[in-house]
Chain A
Amino acid sequence: NAGVMQNPRHLVRRRGQEARLRCSPMKGHSHVYWYRQLPEEGLKFMVYLQKENIIDESGMPKERFSAEFPKEGPSILRIQQVVRGDSAAYFCASSPPSENTEAFFGQGTRLTVV
């Protein structure tokens, strides 16, 4: 059973471009979470999704950021018109559809905006 797969591992974008980060959850997991880690800080919750539904996006910046988890395919975190302050590590985690179960993390995508 493969773990949570994130790609790309490293992404470089120029200011104003779009960044797309992908996350394939573990097999059987229908819950996906995105976290962001700014340099020298802890991980901060961004969004919680289930298949085709956004459950909680209270940690998402109001503009330029969006997330989806379609019926088929990976979850996508999309950042439009990136700025230098978006440079961070973005981690995805997944869990099965049960309460109080462990979330498994991917290796993260390190976004650098130049």
Chain B
Amino acid sequence: GDSVTQMEGPVTLSEEAFLTINCTYTATGYPSLFWYVQYPGEGLQLLLKATKADDKGSNKGFEATYRKETTSFHLEKGSVQVSDSAVYFCALSDVSSYKLIFGSGTRLLVRP
């Protein structure tokens, strides 16, 4: 079945460092891809999404490109801030499905 694999955390960075969180997926069709973020004590929020190959999702300085050839959707940010400390979830959904399939989450800790 469809699945999502993302790098294990925690990822610890200094402020203004470059961030990459890897995400790869397995799907039989052409899924939509998502990054969700969960700040401490809060629910999941949609960070960005891409619905077809080569699309780039972006929000709040974060970016991810839908790479069909490598079945990847890596999350990047050029300069992280302490306020970016959170757990990041990669997810996919089939085009005709309401179900989200999540990766296990990657905790990011940004130190001042």
Our pick among A42, A48, A93 for the contact of B89 (Cβ within 8 Å) is A42
The answer to whether B105 and A42 have CB atoms under 8 Å apart is: yes
Residues of the B chain whose Cβ atoms lie less than 8 Å from the Cβ of A25? none
The answer to whether B98 and A48 have CB atoms under 8 Å apart is: yes
Beyond A3-B43, A91-B44, A105-B43, is A42–B98 a contact (Cβ under 8 Å)?
no
Does B25 interact with chain A (Cβ within 8 Å)? no
Number of A-B pairs, beta carbon distance below 8 Å:
44
The answer to whether B44 and A105 have CB atoms under 8 Å apart is: yes
Say how far B65's CB is from chain A's closest CB, in angstroms: 20
Q: How many residues of B contact A (CB 8 A)?
A: 17
Residues of the B chain whose Cβ atoms lie less than 8 Å from the Cβ of A31? 98
> By DSSP majority rule, is chain A's interface helix, strand, loop, or mixed?
strand
Does B110 interact with chain A (Cβ within 8 Å)? no
The answer to whether A44 and B43 have CB atoms under 8 Å apart is: no
The answer to whether A43 and B98 have CB atoms under 8 Å apart is: no
Does B102 interact with chain A (Cβ within 8 Å)? yes
The answer to whether B104 and A4 have CB atoms under 8 Å apart is: no
The CA-CA distance from A70 to B11 in the complex, in Å, is 42
The answer to whether B99 and A48 have CB atoms under 8 Å apart is: yes
Across the interface, name the chain A residue whose C-beta is closest to B32.
A100
Does B79 interact with chain A (Cβ within 8 Å)? no
A interface with B by C-beta (< 8 Å): 3-4, 6, 31, 33, 35, 40-45, 48, 56, 91, 93, 95, 102-103, 105-108
What are 6 A-B pairs at a CB distance below 8 A? A3-B43, A42-B105, A43-B100, A93-B44, A105-B43, A107-B41
